């Protein structure tokens, strides 16, 4: 599959992000989409071997649209700058934690895992599970294989400034209880995306994140 073509198409799209350009380059979009679909088909097949709950899903079930659904009046761009997929039970829009991959030129590609923004009820259950079962949570996030692939650990960019309701601000796990996102990712340069072993590296990262994904999904059941 031609990942170089995907990156080049997205690079051009970023420079001409409007419908008129897309209409003129519809054939290029369809080719790039087909290349990305082939990549996701391969990754989904590989991932289903270790995640039986994903069996039966197709690339169409897990791939996100290129067209933006949530544009604000201040957003002049019609399309996303990346092609991405969320491989999780029930498909990309399901509430479960899962596995993610995005291709975007300029070193913005990444492989990720977890739950980006859990609904309030889900978030409460995840916090409760961390509070009740802290040793299991720390064992997952401190696992050497997990840290090798996701050295930045969990995303803390949007954490609460104080303790969530019902928790003591002096709780030893307050750093983690304040999180509103339970997500990890590993960036890839364009050169890494084009390497022959890129698909294997994505799958290896997902395998390392599997205990983390399972911890989150058990918490919200």
Confidence at residue 32, expressed as pLDDT on a 0 to 100 scale: 98
Domain residue ranges in the chain: 3-64+78-220
Confidence at residue 156, expressed as pLDDT on a 0 to 100 scale: 85
Phi and psi (nearest 5°) for 27? -65, -40
Mapped to the 3 state alphabet, what secondary structure does the chain carry?
Answer: CCHHHHHHHHHHHHHCCCHHHHHHCHHHHHHHHHHHHHHHHHHHHHHHCCCHHHCCCCHHHHECCCECCCCCCCCCCCECCCEEEEECCCCCCCCCCEEEEEECCCCCEEEEEEECCCCHHHHHHHHHHHHHCHHHHHHHHCCHHHHHHCCCCCCCCCCCCCCCCCCCCCCCCHHHHCCCCEEEEEEECHHHHCCCCHHHHHHHHHHHHHHHHHHHHHHHC
Low-confidence residues in the chain, pLDDT < 70: 70-75
Confidence at residue 50, expressed as pLDDT on a 0 to 100 scale: 93
147-170 pLDDT per residue, tens? 999 999 898 888 999 999 999 999
Residue 209's nearest CA partner among 185, 179, 180, 193 is 185
Confidence at residue 37, expressed as pLDDT on a 0 to 100 scale: 98
> Per the structure block, which two tokens stand in for 148?
């090798």
* pTM value surpassing 0.85: yes
Confidence at residue 76, expressed as pLDDT on a 0 to 100 scale: 76
Confidence at residue 73, expressed as pLDDT on a 0 to 100 scale: 54
């Amino acid at each position: 599959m031609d990942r170089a073509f995907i990156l080049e198409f997205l690079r051009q799209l970023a420079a001409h992000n409007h419908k008129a350009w897309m209409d003129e380059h519809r054939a290029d979009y369809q080719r790039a989409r087909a290349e990305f679909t082939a990549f996701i088909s391969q990754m989904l097949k590989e991932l289903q071997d270790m995640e039986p709950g994903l069996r039966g899903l197709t690339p169409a079930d897990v791939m996100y649209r290129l067209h933006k659904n949530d544009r604000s009046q201040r957003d002049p761009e019609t399309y996303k700058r990346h092609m991405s997929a969320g491989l999780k039970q029930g498909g990309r829009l399901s509430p479960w934690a899962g596995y993610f991959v995005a291709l975007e030129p300029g070193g913005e590609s990444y492989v990720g895992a977890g739950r980006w923004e859990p609904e309030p009820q889900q978030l409460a259950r995840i916090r409760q599970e961390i509070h009740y079962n802290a040793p299991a949570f720390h064992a997952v996030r401190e696992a050497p294989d997990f840290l090798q692939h996701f050295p930045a650990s969990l995303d803390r960019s949007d954490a609460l400034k104080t303790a969530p309701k019902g928790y003591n601000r002096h709780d030893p796990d307050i750093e983690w209880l304040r999180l509103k996102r339970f997500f990890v990712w590993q960036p890839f340069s364009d050169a890494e995306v084009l390497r022959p072993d890129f698909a294997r590296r994505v799958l290896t990262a997902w395998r390392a994140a599997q205990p983390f994904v399972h911890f989150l999904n058990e918490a919200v059941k």
